[in-house]
Amino acid sequence: MTTTERAMPPLHADERTTLEGWLEFYRATLVMKCDGLADEQLRTASVPPSPLTLLGLVQHMAEVERNWFRRVLSGEPVAPIHDPDADPNGHAGGFDLADDVDLDTARSTWEDEVAHARANCATRTLDETSPFMGGDVTLRWIYTHMIAEYARHAGHADLIRERIDGVTGV
């Protein structure tokens, strides 16, 4: 069983450190929701008719990391991870589960995308822009969007985890 460490975002820091701190906090929150669960539990859907699962959320966030920090920010022509036929410029998928995917595999893929994200951000300023939807988007905007994306899905994960075994919070 993997136990995820999660640091509190800094209370007094510059803007970039604050944004990165919150993003890391929510990244850790999502994977913490998966700690200690068996594969079957990770594949348990939230509430019918929704097919949303914890494992699907981890896969989805790997796709989201790839989209924003590789395709948009760095302009890398990388294909979708979980659905090679998906539109790489469309909404990130990853929610559908293949029979051969387990948490170790999904988490390793997600961690690889997070590592790429950190590397792609390391040399950029918050005001640096990348082409997006006929305009430009700043790294600041991407960080803010990613914090919101993770926070939303951490809430989903909390509800799914509570349904599975009653664990809440963290």
Count of alpha carbons within 13 angstroms of residue 112, beta-carbon side: 9
- For the chain, give the longest Cα–Cα distance: 46
CA distance 88 to 67: 8
Which structural domain, as residue segments, surrounds residue 25? 15-165
Q: Number of structural domains, the chain?
A: 1
CATH number of the domain that residue 105 is part of = 1.20.120.450
Q: Is residue 10 part of a domain?
A: no
pLDDT over 90 at 41, yes or no: yes
- The arithmetic mean of pLDDT across residues 76-85, rounded, is 84
**pLDDT reported for residue 110:** 97
The answer to the question of residue 6 being in a domain is no
Whether residue 8 is contained in a domain is answered as no
Mention every residue, 6+ apart, whose C-beta is less than 8 A from residue 115.
none
- d(C-alpha 61, C-alpha 108), whole Å: 12
Is position 5 within any domain? no
Cα 88 from chain centroid?
A: 17
Give the position of tokens 């890391």. 24
Give domain status of residue 4, yes or no. no
Above pLDDT 70, what percent of the chain?
92
CB of 59 within 8 A of CB of 94? yes
Note whether residue 64 is domain-resident.
yes
Tell me if 103 is assigned to some domain.
yes
